[in-house]
Structure 1
Amino acid sequence: MQLISIDIETYSSVNLAKAGVYRYATSDDFQLLLFSYAIDEGPVKVVDLTQGETIPQEIIAALTNPEIIKLAFNAQFERVCLSSFLGKQLKPKGWHCSMVWAATLGLPLSLKGVGAVLGLEKQKLEAGKDLVRYFCTPCKPTQANHQRTRNLPYHDPSKWQQFKQYNQRDVEVEVEINQKLARFPVQESEWHNYWLDQEINDCGIMLDQTLIKNAIACDQSFRKQYLDEAQKLTDLDNPNSPTQLKAWLQEKGIDIPSLSKADVASALKEATGDVRKVLLLRQQLSKSSVKKYTAMQTALCPDGRVHGLLQFYGANRTGRWAGRLVQVQNLPRNSMPDLKEARELVRSNNQTALGILYDSVPDVLSQLIRTAFIPKLGCQFYVADFSAVEARVIAWLAQEQWRQEVFAKNGDIYCESATQMFHVPVVKHGINGHLRQKGKIAELALGYGGSVGALKAMGALRMGIREDELQPLVNMWRQASPNIVQFWWDVDKAAMTCIKQRLDTETHGIKFKYRSGCFFIFLPSGRRICYIKPKIGTNRFGNESITYEGIDATKKWERLETYGAKLVENIVQATSRDLLANAMQNLTQAGYQIVMHIHDEVVIEAPKGTSLEKIEKTMATVPGWATGLKLNAAGFVSDFYKKD
């Protein structure tokens, strides 16, 4: 036995989508219903645990044997649920995930989607969703079902047989996917990264339950206060209703397009009297400051920690992680100088002081969301992140020497960029300091072929840069970074040649290959990015462009367009991701416990007195495949998570 393909069906009253698999599998009523498996891609066997059947001992033994590969689509679900069923945690090593495998090739992140794109002979059964809803989740008690809250096999034997067939089919589909993808195996180093990811999710991170409970109570109290005040001012039944409020504003002579954040802010510039007060209250009421607190409560496990916050290869083009449940990749920033004091006021539920000291309590609660993550007793958080990692990577790949020199001495890239653009010295809070903002916006917007539209999208006009300054900014930035601009064109040419002529090409140490209907970009780390069924088409400007099949913004499988600078963006972000994965491996091997990571930042839970300097040094160690890259990491120590 070398490989077992697995699929399970389970029951729990916990909402899997909202609470996550760790909370789902630890509920009191969690139950394993069906266990289907195939050994070494042989015939599928279904074990019906509801009928007294048992999983064979050789399979139970294999589940804990790291030398035998356990393969499942979204394997985290199977592993965590089977850990609960067996009463012991199954270690990630030895588990492979065919969803991750599909993601490495740019395929959809659903079994049904992968099956459809690959054109498998056996497809996931369409009736599955209804069967899962019927047997795997609570049902509404009615007179017709004798007030029961759960459907069992004997309630509908015919459906139960269909459900077993559905379970079996899923394994058959998984086996066929494995056979189709066998030509493109996942690198062993990526499975090691996947196992580390699973260990981090298994560990989880502790939550400050007092802060969360009081933040929710505080929000409810102040929302009621704002709503009462708005009702008195408007005489409306529900001043939080956009329809009612827009009608009231129109009566007052304010014709507002919508009640979006931007339109309300725009209307406030001219508003006076009661209208101004009402619009300000609308701003407070529209803040969703507690949604993440309630998400934390929902996902909280019996051990006081929340697990499964990160999805490996969630961004399936570059391989970056995606946030799940609480969405830690998208947490509000905190800028309050008295963050610790405000936090203590909420923890002690001192609503009176909060109302007196702060103009916007919802804003305070929003800024405190990060601080709900806390280390266990006796430990602190050691938070370290890469400094300007994408800017460093693109400078290294493009061999933009002046940038490399800035990073070698850990200089301020925004000041140096402005210096190169305007040909005058720029010093933060010093000589020509006002130009730093222009250097910053240019750096953030223009590195991947962006132009005037990218500057606007990045908020250039809101920052006070005039419309007539935008194109000159683009021109100056490109003139100051000729090697980066050339990098875009060289990648475009290499990719075009590879796809047109089916030839292997290379530029700047990046290799391009066409294999079996796929276009691959091989990164410096050796990992590859995949573009399925590439073609050379014509874009809206009448020029040649690269198209490929992939998932669009609406999550549909479509033909997408790309070009040199966009490919550079993928290369740089994927390389930055590989640097983070390398750093996390180094930190783990050095004995540090990573509990969370966000973008280019890691959060370590370690005993008080741990050396932050050693953590920073370990994180900034340049891997052998990135010789010459100027990497740097900086961090801080805290009793709760925050943005330093």
Structure 2
Amino acid sequence: MTPKVKIVSPGEFRPAPGAAVGVDFETFYTGTYSVKSMGLYPYVNDPRFSAWAVAVSDGSSVCSCEPTKFPWERIAGREWVSHHREFDRGVFERLQADGVIPSGAGPSAWHDSAAACAYLQYPRDLKGACKEVLGIEVDKGVRRSLRGRKDDGDLFASCGMTEEEAAYVSNDAVLCLKLWQEIGWRWPLHERALFEATCAMARRGVRVDWGTVANAIAGLGRVVGECRKAIPWEPALSDPKFRQACADLGVRPPASLAAGDENYAEWLKMHAGKRCAGWALNMSRLRRANRLKKVLESMQSRRSPADGRMVYELRYFGATTGRWSGSGGLNMQNFNRREVEGFDVRKVIVAPPGFTLAVCDYSQIEARMLLWVAGDVKTMQILIDHPEMDMYEVHARATMGWLPEGRDQRSEGKDQSGDNRQSAIGNGQLGGTLKAQRSTLNAQAEESLEEYCVRTGSTLRQYAKARVLGLGYRCGAGTFVRVAKVMAKLELSFDEAKRAVNDYRASNPLVVGVWERLEDEAYKSWEAGRDHVLPLPCTSYDSRCGRYLFYRDLKVLEGGYGKGMTAVVAGERCPLHGGILAENLVSGASRDVMASAWLRCLKAGYSPVMTVHDELVFEVPEATAAADLAKISSIMTEPLAWAPGLPLKVGGKLMKRYGK
């Protein structure tokens, strides 16, 4: 049930002295014009923008009215709370720019109850958060009746709004404040600082080569037009019409037109030169070109007139492990790494005049973190002694029988192209002990695995990567067939995958021990009838870090394959076993490495302009670029008190245009 508070008029609203207030704006939106479909910056800067209501509550009373009628001076200088604060901040700043809200009416601090919920792995949306945290069912059905509502007069007059609608507008301000009072204290200050840094970075944005963007849009538009002309039906991307056209020719259509689908590739070979193959190729090309064109147009819509930079959105705690994720309709975490029509979208992000991009990327951080969590001191020492060697080469040497050129080659035989793969997916015994080899590990004298693969065309390194990233989290043979195909483009039979799984587990007992320990602890929580709370390594070292993984409402089902455990994570029921727990733990701890580095860089005066996965990107002056890159890399590889012995490695590059 929604908390009962007194609804008062603007003249009656007088919040208690010093009290924080919940603030929530209601704005005009339609099916095609919405913050969800457009992103925040384009939405609030669109000519159609209209904020028709604001609700403010101190917990005992709430005032809902038009923004022009609210007494802003009564909450100026207080702490404000909003759910999805960046939206409300964007609306507030637009209204200030329009002169609707006085320029000095801002808060002393503006908190985000949604970000606090995400940090504690509750649902991010207000309805889900209220249900889990407060036990309150929120009816969002009223919101649908407000779709298309605009400030066309006094909506709070007797004929403007129903009592139910007015209550709905008020409730969000009441509820976000209630949420903050309930859980805000559990969100540590250093994590709040990281949230603020994330928002500030995205609002600052990146510099973009807008001339190249415009030319690419024009070129892609021509490609789209050519493809549409070559497809004899409308809409051109209609799969049913494509299938019917194939049937009319007596041809069975492919199940998918995805570029990576091998069945589609075979179908194209079979029907090469036929009209159906031409249609399929044009449909695929049209999809790729149109998708990239829309990405570039979305980038254009985020161009700030003040400085020409591109504003974007990045979601703090986008994943339950704490990692960031793309948001706002433009996912910069997932830009296509392959060129489309000869165009690489990443390269439109450029350094400003007089500056250079310093790109610093943690090398294989999760694979290294898994070794550390497992306590594999021997392998970590090799990485420390030989920083030139990557994790996948160490794994190939230690468990897959690969040795540098000139030694007993027991990798995948015939440079991965032949049929003899027993040593790679069979027993994986190493020729000679690793200890005996360590004195010979010399990058200058021996060819690295990456060099070997480039020279020979072998996919052994990718296969080793699939083993490290897939088998390290208890994936079975059936799943590994798919993992090897996706990550290594390697076709394995089920029996070959099963041998690889068995070999990995036999040769990595410390990792298997992590799965067993974590699963054991989860079952103990279930037996005790409590939620499972897994502290991350930084918290085990210092409880003030406050980083935990939460698995709520554990359930165990008895089945034909033994016990199966599930838990509620961020409002969703998910399967749970030792491998998943290990993956979550490693991902969360790796995120904390990045988070710690980010805060240390800020303290040293280096503010990143964007982050992509395990990478931080900075704009540094040309004159000091090399020194700045070295300093940032040094900061990022500083030993961590909570992870002694963790072999961190950062790859740093200077570039005028962003890329890999």
Shorter-normalised TM-score: what interval? 0.7 to 0.9
- Among candidates 366, 377, 384, match of residue 353 of structure 2: 377
Contact 1:520 1:528 in 2 (8 A): no
Match of 2:519 among 476, 486, 492: 492
User: Which position in structure 2 is the counterpart of 1:617?
Assistant: 634
Residues 493 and 53 (structure 1 numbering): CA distance in 2 closer, same or farther, change over 3 Å?
closer
Quote the Cα distance in structure 1 between the aligned partners of 2:104 and 2:538.
32
Q: Is the 8 A contact 2:51 2:150 kept in 1?
A: no
1:75 and 2:82 correspond? no
Instruction: Name the CA distance, whole Å, in 2 between partners of 1:192 and 1:279.
Output: 50
- Alpha-carbon distance change, 218 to 623 in structure 1, aligned in 2, over 3 angstroms: same
- Alignment pair present for 1:416 and 2:394: yes
8 A Cα contact 2:484 2:491, kept in partner: no
Equivalent residue of 1:329, what SS? helix
CA contact (8 A) 1:125 1:169 kept: no
Q: Distance in 2 between matches of 1:158 and 1:537?
A: 52
User: Any idea what SS the aligned residue of 1:247 has?
Assistant: helix
Q: Is residue 101 of structure 1 aligned with residue 79 of structure 2?
A: no
Which residue of 1 is the match for residue 562 of structure 2? 543
Q: Does 1:322 align with 2:339?
A: no
Are the counterparts in 2 of residues 104 and 529 from structure 1 also a CA contact under 8 Å? no
What is the CA distance between 1:180 and its match in structure 2?
A: 4.3
Change (3 A) 1:442 1:44: same
Normalising by structure 1, we get a TM-score of 0.80
Q: Is residue 600 of structure 2 the alignment partner of residue 586 of structure 1?
A: yes
Answer yes or no: is 1:112 the counterpart of 2:124.
Answer: no
Distance 1:615 1:249 in 2: 57
Give the corresponding residue for 2:622: 608
What is the match of residue 96 of structure 2? 86
Structure 2 equivalent of residue 264 of structure 1 = 264
Structure 1 Cα separation of the partners of residues 565 and 273 of structure 2: 56
Name the CA distance, whole Å, in 2 between partners of 1:29 and 1:227.
Answer: 32
Relative to its length, the structure with more strand (as a share) is 1
Partner of 2:431: none
Show the counterpart of 1:442.
Answer: 467
* Inter-partner Cα distance in structure 2 for 1:542 and 1:92: 56
User: Residues 295-328 of structure 1: CA distance to partner in whole angstroms, max 9, x if unpaired?
Assistant: 212333323233242011121x211111012111
Counterpart of 1:616, as a letter, is S
Q: 1:463 to 1:33 in 2, by over 3 A?
A: closer
2:244 equivalent in structure 1: 247
Letter paired with 1:192: A
What is the identity, as a one-letter code, of the residue corresponding to 1:602?
Answer: L
In 2: Cα distance, 1:612 partner to 1:578 partner: 21
Shift of 1:203: 1.0
Q: Residue 110 of structure 1: CA displacement?
A: 1.1
How has the CA–CA distance of structure 1 residues 54 and 104 changed in structure 2, closer, same or farther, with 3 Å as cutoff? same
Residue 8 of structure 1 corresponds to: 25
Question: Gapped runs of 5+ residues in structure 1?
Answer: 63-68, 137-149, 337-361, 503-513, 552-556
Q: Relative to structure 1, is the Cα distance of residues 107 and 539 closer, same or farther in structure 2, using a 3 angstrom cutoff? A: farther
* Aligned match of 1:169: 171
1:127–1:437 CA distance, 2 compared to 1 (3 A)? closer
| Offset at residue 329 of structure 1 (A) | 1.4
Flag the 1:430–1:104 CA change in 2: closer, same or farther, 3 A.
Answer: closer
1:530 Cα deviation (Å)? 4.2
Deviation string 1:555-588 (CA, Å, 9 cap, x unpaired) is: xx55332011101111111111111111111111
Q: Distance in 2 between matches of 1:440 and 1:156?
A: 66
Q: Secondary structure at the match of 1:134?
A: coil
Query: 1:297 maps to which residue?
Result: 300
Q: What is the CA deviation profile of residues 350-393 of structure 1, one whole-angstrom value per residue up to 9, with x for unaligned ones?
A: xxxxxxxxxxxx4423xx11122223332221111100000111
Give me the whole-angstrom Cα distance separating, in 1, the residues matched to 2:513 and 2:549: 23
Distance 1:54 1:546, change over 3 A: same
Which amino acid in the other structure matches residue 96 of structure 1?
A: H
Count how many residue pairs are aligned between Structure 1 and Structure 2.
568
Q: Deviations over 1:110-165 (max 9, x none)?
A: 112222334645735531232253137xxxxxxxxxxxxx5762898341765443
Please report how far the alpha carbon of residue 542 of structure 1 lies from its aligned counterpart in structure 2 after TM superposition.
4.2
Deviations 1:427-482 (A, max 9, x none): 42349966434322211211111122332222438724431421111122222221
Matched, 1:595 2:621: no
Match for residue 340 of structure 1? none
User: Which residue in 1 is equivalent to 2:37?
Assistant: 18
Letter in structure 2 aligned against 1:463: K
Residue 577 (1) aligns with residue 581 (2): no
Q: 2-side partners of 1:333 and 1:80: how far apart?
A: 31
Distance 1:212 1:282 in 2: 23
Report deviation, 1:487. Answer: 0.7
* 1:635 to partner: Cα distance: 1.8
Kindly indicate whether the alpha-carbon contact (under 8 Å) linking 1:92 and 1:195 is maintained by their aligned counterparts in 2: no
Runs of 5+ consecutive residues of structure 2 not aligned to the other structure: 1-17, 98-102, 405-447, 540-545
Distance 1:412 1:289, change over 3 A: same
Q: Which amino acid aligns with 1:218?
A: G
Question: TM-score, normalised to structure 2's length?
Answer: 0.79
Q: Which residue of 2 aligns with 1:202?
A: 203
The within-5 A match list for 1:510-549 is 514=530, 518-526=531-539, 527-531=546-550, 533-538=552-557, 540-549=559-568
Q: Which residue does 2:489 correspond to in 1?
A: 463
Residues in 1 aligned to 2:104 and 2:647: alpha-carbon distance in whole angstroms? 40
Residues 2-52 of structure 1, C-alpha deviation per residue, up to 9 Å, x if partnerless? 52222222458963223332333344565544333233x3322335334x4
Task: Find the aligned partners of 1:230 and 1:313 in 2 and give their Cα distance.
Answer: 43
Q: Which amino acid aligns with 1:588?
A: L
Report the Cα offset of residue 395 of structure 1.
Answer: 0.6
Query: Partners of 2:28 and 2:579 in 1: how far apart?
Result: 48
Aligned ranges for residues 172-183 of structure 1 at < 5 Å? 172-181=174-183
Amino acid in the other structure paired with 1:185:
R
Q: Name the CA distance, whole Å, in 1 between partners of 2:513 and 2:133.
A: 37
State the shift of 1:548 in Å: 1.9
After TM superposition, the structure 1 = structure 2 runs for residues 469-508 of structure 1, keeping only pairs within 5 Å, are 469-501=496-528
Which residue type is aligned with residue 45 of structure 1?
C
Report if the CA contact (8 A) 2:608-2:617 is conserved.
yes
In 1, Cα distance between equivalents of 2:354 and 2:203: 20
Percent of residue pairs identical: 23
Residues 302, 162 of structure 1: alpha-carbon distance in 2 compared, 3 angstrom cutoff: farther
For the residues of structure 2 that align with 1:239 and 1:170, how far apart are their CA atoms?
43
How has the CA–CA distance of structure 1 residues 35 and 435 changed in structure 2, closer, same or farther, with 3 Å as cutoff?
A: closer
* Matched residue SS, 2:168: helix
Given residue 9 of structure 1, which amino acid in structure 2 is its aligned partner?
Answer: E
Q: 1:37 — aligned with what? A: 56
- Confirm or deny: 8 A CA contact 1:105 1:532 kept in the other structure: no
Structure 1 residues 388-427: aligned runs within 5 Å:
388-408=364-384, 409-410=386-387, 411-426=389-404, 427=448
Aligned to 1:345: none
Q: Letter of the 2:332 partner, please give it.
A: V
Q: Which moved more, 1:12-21 or 1:195-204?
A: 12-21
CA pair 247-99 structure 1, distance change in 2 beyond 3 A: same
Cα distance in 1 for residues equivalent to 2:163 and 2:300: 37
Q: Name the aligned partner's letter for residue 620 of structure 2.
A: A
The structure-2 alpha-carbon separation of the partners of 1:28 and 1:417, relative to structure 1 and needing over 3 Å to count, comes to same
Aligned partner of residue 320 in structure 1, secondary structure: coil
The alignment partner of 2:318 has SS state of strand
Residues 28 and 148, structure 2, Cα contact 8 Å, conserved in 1:
no
Distance in 1 separating the partners of 2:314 and 2:81? 20
SS in structure 1 of the partner of residue 61 of structure 2: coil
**What amino acid maps onto 2:524 in structure 1?**
T
Counterpart of 1:566 (choices 580, 586, 589) is: 580
Change (3 A) 1:227 1:264: farther
